[in-house]
Amino acid sequence: MDVSIKIPCTLVPVRKFNLLLPNSAIAEVIVSSALELPTNAPQWLYGIVKWQEYNVHVIEFDKIDLAQNIPNNKKSIILVLRNPSPTNKVPYIGILAKSIPQVIDVNSRNIDKNLHPQITHSHAKSYVIVNKKDGVIPNVESLANLIKLASISP
């Protein structure tokens, strides 16, 4: 990657690591306390929030691979992501952030592949180190398919 090329991204803190997302994948960042949790929802589903005319399923990314239950906050920072697969029936996905996301410019000087990540995840596309912090690039299409396969409706 050329040093002069900068990709605007957002570092999203989840419980034990950061997600790295290009800003173009983020439709909006919202704060919400009005989430609906369907009965028999999987543990990774934080709830469903009404955003524009869509019911957006909000995922706790770090709970997908865990068996333990982590208590939820009252107000939630949610990143609404665009699904890059236009044929999928889940056009938007919500990702729960632990705290305020950080906007950064990524270039060849501040990012490297993480060949030995301490935490691995079944829905990770890649592992990186950005600004000396461990990061996970999530597979958004895989997350959309997870929601679709779970057949969750509000």
Contact of 24 with 124, CB cutoff 8 Å: no
Which of these, 110, 152, 108, lies nearest to 129 by C-alpha position? 110
Quick one: pLDDT band at residue 154, thresholds 50, 70, 90? Answer: low
Average pLDDT over residues 30-38: 86
Domains of the chain (ranges; CATH) run 7-150 (2.40.50.180)
DSSP 99: S
| Residue 40 zone, left/alpha/beta (φ > 0; ψ -120 to 50; rest) | left
Q: What is the pLDDT of residues 71-118, one digit of tens each?
A: 555 578 999 999 988 666 889 999 999 999 999 999 888 888 887 777
The three-class DSSP label of residue 10 is strand
Which of these, 59, 75, 89, 73, lies nearest to 151 by C-alpha position? 89
Q: What is the pLDDT of residues 110-144, one digit of tens each?
A: 888 887 777 777 788 888 988 888 889 999 998 98
The three-class DSSP label of residue 104 is strand
Residue 15 reports pLDDT greater than 80: no
Structure tokens belonging to residue 21: 């997302």
